[in-house]
Structures are given as structure tokens and as C-alpha cells.
Amino acid sequence: MLYMTACQEPASPLLWSQHCFCCHPWEHQVCGEAVRAKLEEEAGLEQAQCCYPVYARRVLEPPDERLEAQIQSHLQNYWVHQDIIADEGPKLRCTAGADVHGSGCVIDMKDGDVRGCDESHACPDFDCSYMRAFVKTVRTIQRINPLPDVKIVMNAGDLTMDYTGEIPVFTRTGTRWTNTVALPFEWQLDPFQCQSKMMIATRASENAPWERRAAKLSWRGSISNCRIPGCRIAAAADGDAQAWETCGRLQEGQARDCTWNMSTWLKMPRGRLVWLSRFNAAIDAKFVLHPKLKMDEDLEQFLQNEGLIAEHREVRWDAFFKYHIAIDGDSAPDRLYWQLFMGSVVIIQESVWQEIIGVIGPLEPFVHFVPVRYDLSDLSEKVAWLQQNDVEARQIALRGVAFAQQHLTCDGILYYVDRLLRAVAARTQSTSSEA
């Protein structure tokens, strides 16, 4: 928190370098992408250490034994040869979203540098910003704490749902059934975006004392849920293994249904959340319309009539509610990683998606967050419990903040990627002839 305080003032005596550009990312947005690219291209060890001072210090200390054990567990099936990655990696095909496919992208870390792949190969139908953000992160690590030479295969799309091949694929979001290694979200990998989101969440928390927060769950979001045909979320929430797999594992030739109409909307978790607010005054959940996400006109008119559509709301206003929820959208909810900084209780939905948060730190239910079933059938009960146990609710919120400050800062995320890649290098053989 000392670093966050220092960065609030450009002339602060707490800043030890005049080149701390990423302390104030919003001041450089007006300069355009060309200036930002120049800063990133010319950034050396001094700026890297300035942007990530805690990480730069932490790599000089012995590794965190708990984190090392969790990473090894996460990588338990990861044993591969470098030449197989180089030869077979580019041939891989992954579903990256609705009607969007990507090819395997080999990321080569060698001699203290990193090289991505041809974007037209990795991202033929979508923007390759995630791959760029990852390469930027690895380059920062290479400047501060050079990595062993290693190659990995990445799906540069937003998610991976259908890949079960032999070569593990690095991805932003995989499922319980994919042979994937989970990485942080794009905004966590970009130093400008990460510092900005952390600052917004931290300041919002500071401006909203617990006593001024309403004892309600508040949520605003889009209709980004898609579902696999045949998914029965209630059966999955009851622990039916086959139902879970049906809800999270794409079969060959199968695609997710992203249709929102009067017949489908209550089969989606976000639809159920918003409809609950119609009957429970302690839940204030509304959809925010998005130009790229369309619903049927009948459904939109119905939701408008019921008062279940609202305007976009700035994050700072979220802090004035005691309870937040992290609920699946198109994939795993990235807002969870800044919600925990807000000083409110975070309710986390069960999910089919892989999460790195349990690898990064020991996140425990009813200690750092409150769990809720996949179908949200116990959400009203959990909110009522929080209202009736305000002292304990506040303690859960405070422990959530402490967890976030210890594990989920920009420095913490960089440290996780560092340790993950070193563990991967140790599990990767240099030639296929090696035993």
C-alpha cells in the first residue's frame, strides 16, 4: 500500500525513480498508442523495477513453498519435449469463442528475450492483444529475473473449451476438462491496465466506509453467458458429474448457444441473478445493454418493463454496497480479481472454468469469500446470512482485501507468471531423444 500511496502524487518523495511512467497510466493514454509503444520498447531494467518494485525484491528471496507446491499440482500432467512443441504446436486448433478459432502459437523464451508468433496464424479471426500482453509480461520478467530457455504453446483467444490434446496449451481460461494451463487475464498482464484497475478499486474502497455501505448485493453486467446445449445447471449444482461435464465440455463439432430469448434467459446464471432481484429487495442486479451482445426484442422489452435494465455504472459506486458477486460471463469472471480489493464481501459462484486464484493463494470459503451454487439457488439464503451476521461479514470482507493485497497485486501476478514459467521449464525436455 506504501507504493500505491506514493504513486498518487507525481512529486512524492517516496518515488525512487524519475522514470516511473506506470504509476500514472491514465496520464499517458492521451499521448496515444505510439507514445505508449515507445515507452514499452525503450523500457529497461530501471523502469521494470520501478513498475514492479515488490516483484523485483521478492525474486531475491527464497521461493514461496506453498505457491511452489500449488504450481506443481497445477502442472501435474505437464511433461513435454521442446521439439514437439516447435513442430506440433502451430498445428493445434482451439475454439476461441463463438464461431472463432485460433491456431497454436509457440512462444519462445530464449537468451533473456521472448518472441511470439505470427498474429495472422494465431489470431486469424480476432485481435491478438492477449498474446501481446503476455509477451510484454515475459519481457518484463526477462529484464528483472531472466528465465531459463523454454517454449510453450498458447491459445491467444479468450477461452479454450474443446482442447484435450497431448501438448498442454496455455490459455486465459480453460475448463476442468481441457488440457490447459491457466494464465492471468489480459488487464492483469498489461502494466498500464493493471495499475489503473488496482488504483480505481483501492480508492473506491477507501471512500466507502463499511457503515456507509448498503446491506445489499449489487451487480451490473452484460448478457455475455453462452450455454452448451443440454446443460442443466440445477443438476450440475447438485453434484451430478455428467451434468457438470455437459455444461462445461464441448463435444466434437458442438458449439455453444449464445441466444438470449424468453425461452433461454433463465437457463443462464446471469439471467437467474437478474430475475432474483425482482423478488428479493436485498439483491439489486440489472443488465447493462452492450452493442455487440443482442437479445430478442421481446425479451429486451420485458426486461425494460420489469426495470431490470440499467445504465452503466462506474466502479467507484460499487463500493457503496456490502456484497458483490463474481458470476460467470462468456468465461470465468475477471472482475473477481479487483472485486476483492473493494472492501465488500465477494460471493463467488461455482464454475466449470479453471481459475488461477486458488493456485496463487489459499482462498478459503467463509474466510475470504462466500460460495454460492452454480444455479444460484442458495443466493438469497447466503445474502440473508450476511445481513444477519454483519460483524462476520465485515471480517470476511477485510480478510478478502488482505488476501488480494498479498497475492493479487500487479507484482503478485508477475511473480506468479515467473514461478509458473520456471516450473514449466523444469518439466520441459530440450530434445525428444532425452530420457
For the stretch 127-151, pLDDT in tens is 899 999 999 999 999 999 999 999 9
Q: Are residues 36 and 125 in the same domain?
A: yes
Question: How far is the first Cα of the chain from the last one, in angstroms, to the nearest whole number?
Answer: 48
Q: Give the pLDDT confidence score for residue 165 in this predicted structure.
A: 85
- The reply to whether 169 and 209 lie within a common domain is no
Bridge partner list, 348: 326, 371
C-alpha span between 22 and 7 (Å, rounded)? 9
Does 215 share its domain with 286? yes
Exposed/middle/buried for 292, CB within 10 Å: 0-12, 13-18, 19+?
exposed
> CB atoms < 10 A from the CB of 119, how many?
16
- Does residue 11 lie within any of the structural domains? no
Answer yes or no: do 38 and 186 share one domain: yes
- Cell readout for 90 is 502451430
Average pLDDT of the chain, as a whole number: 88
Tens digits of per-residue pLDDT, 329-380?
Answer: 999 999 999 999 999 999 999 999 988 998 998 999 999 999 999 999 999 9
Is the pLDDT reported for residue 5 higher than 50?
Answer: no
How distant, in Å, are the alpha carbons of 103, 104, 119, 149 from that of 124? Answer: 8, 11, 7, 28
Residue 8 pLDDT level (bands cut at 50, 70, 90): very low
**Whether residues 154 and 205 fall in one domain:** no
Q: Does 209 lie in the same domain as 186?
A: no
What is the count of structural domains for the chain?
Answer: 2
Whether 205 and 79 share a structural domain: no
Q: Which CATH number belongs to the domain containing residue 348 in this structure?
A: 3.40.50.2000
Q: Judge contact between 168 and 179, C-beta under 8 A.
A: yes
Specify whether 187 is located in the same domain as 226: no
Read off the pLDDT band of 407 (50, 70, 90).
Answer: very high
The rounded distance, in Å, linking the Cα atoms of 315 and 310 is 14
* Whole-number Cα distances in Å, 175 to 106, 132, 232: 21, 23, 17
- Residue 274: pLDDT above 90? yes
Same domain flag for 149 and 209: no
Q: Which of 328, 274, 327 is nearest to 299 (CA)?
A: 274
Whether residue 421 sits in one domain with residue 365: no
Can you give the pLDDT at residue 31?
Answer: 35
Indicate the SS3 state at residue 344: coil
Examine the pLDDT at 41 and tell me if it is beyond 70: no
Distance of CA 409 to the CA centre of its chain: 13
> Pick from 356, 327, 352: which is nearest to 228 by CA?
352
Same structural domain, 211 and 343: yes
Q: What pLDDT is recorded for position 40?
A: 55
Burial class, 238, CB count within 10 angstroms (exposed 0-12 / middle 13-18 / buried 19+) = middle
10 lies in a domain? no
Q: Which domain holds residue 141?
A: 21-191+414-429
Instruction: Report d(CA 336, CA 344) in Å as an integer.
Output: 12
Q: Can you give the pTM of this predicted structure?
A: 0.89
What average pLDDT does range 240-269 have in this prediction?
93
Higher pLDDT pick, 100 / 76: 76
For residues 9-36, average pLDDT: 44
pLDDT of residue 157: 85
Residues 387 and 427: beta-carbon distance below 8 Å = no
